[in-house]
Amino acid sequence: MRVLIAYDGSDGSNASLDDLKLAGLGKNVEATVLSVAEVWLPPTGMSAGTFEPFPTYTPPEIRKAHEIAAQAIEKARSVANEALTRLSSISSSWKVSVEVRTGSPWEEVVNRANELDTNLIVVGSHGRSALGRLFLGSVSQKIINEARRSVRVGRKPPVSPSSARDLIIGVDGSPGSDAAVQEVARREWPLGMRTHVVTAEDPNVPMAFGGLNEELTKQEDSKSERRSVQTIVEAAARYLRQVGFDTSAEVKQGDAKKVLLDEAKRLNAHCIFVGASGWTNSLDRFLLGSVSTAVANGAECSVEVVRSRDRAHT
């Protein structure tokens, strides 16, 4: 699994590193730590770790700007190396490298994730470091919205890792929520993990969903495109039970955002998995971008916004 970790040395980004202990990523991980210096006039070749002399005559203002940029880049490199040390305590089997880039933090993170064909981007929920406040809510939100990869917003895990036994998965029967269910199923979790599949039924919004996935729904009426929310949530739960999870299925009344946040709090869940998008036509419903972003911003626990691996290349 290829993981890009956006890191700025703040408490928020350190929490996102500690949270990886509970992310079920397994041992076969190639992780790249990326720190971004928010400067736009770096010395030529500086981001690659090389130095080139100034021309014979360089205006003092330009020279000063380059010097400030060089200092910011070196600071970013030092910060990235701190993450390397911290990650070594999580898994000695991971292959970890560090990189430094300059420019807009969210753009550099998204672009590098595409270049590396990353499966997952890891960000902190907030940050206030000298590297340009990389993980303020607005930047993390921009990464969630613009990335073509899954994004995990890591928050401080429970004091005792053994108490982190509950995951919530929001579903609505769309391809986006299918991807969230399947991602949970393919991870390597500790024994005793419990999954809770949740959907929201808003009485003010008519329901009209497609199938969860063909293997699970072939026993249903294949000619019907309308299935109850109960069928949707039970199909997802049945899939997870088939691969060995202790899984509950619940339909809650109300707004999807509030339902997921309330359930996470009630269960003391350590992570919420949601699809990046749901139905995107006139049937717009549950896991639209506004919902996944709102959950990522509002949750007290970590949130993983999942994109289909096929769609990452579109």
Res 291: pLDDT? 82
* Single-letter amino acid code for the residue at 247: T
Question: What CA–CA distance (Å, rounded) separates 38 from 35?
Answer: 10
- Alpha carbons within 13 angstroms on the beta-carbon side of residue 42 total 23
Q: Which domain holds residue 269?
A: 162-313
Mean pLDDT, rounded, for 150-173 = 84
pLDDT of 76 > 90? The answer is no
Give the model's pLDDT for residue 192: 86
Last residue of a domain, one of 154, 187, 222: 154
Q: For the chain, what is the domain count? A: 2
Averaged pLDDT of the chain: 80
Identify the band that residue 210 occupies on the pLDDT scale cut at 50, 70 and 90: very low
Q: What DSSP character marks residue 133?
A: -
User: How large is the average pLDDT for residues 150-178?
Assistant: 85
Q: Are residues 150 and 171 in the same domain?
A: no
Residues 215 and 139 in one domain: no
pLDDT surpasses 60 at 314: no
**Mean pLDDT (whole number) for 264-286:** 72
Tokens read off for 156:
């401080």
Q: Are residues 135 and 170 in the same domain?
A: no
CATH number at residue 167: 3.40.50.620
Same domain, 142 and 60: yes
Sign of CA pseudo-dihedral 268, 1, 247, 141: positive
Name the more confident of 283 and 192. 192
pLDDT of 103: 86
pLDDT in tens, 176-193: 899 999 999 999 998 889
The pLDDT assigned to 53 comes to 58
132 vs 146, higher pLDDT: 146
Q: Are residues 193 and 97 in the same domain?
A: no
Q: Looking at the structure, tell me whether residues 54 and 176 fall in a common domain.
A: no
Domain boundary among 135, 154, 173: 154
Confidence of residue 61 (pLDDT cuts 50, 70, 90): low
**pTM over cut 0.85:** no
Helix (H) or strand (E) holding 93: none
Q: Do 122 and 13 have their domain in common? A: yes
* Tokens representing residue 199 in the block: 């959907």
Among 3, 34, 43, 276, which residue's Cα sits nearest to residue 134? 34
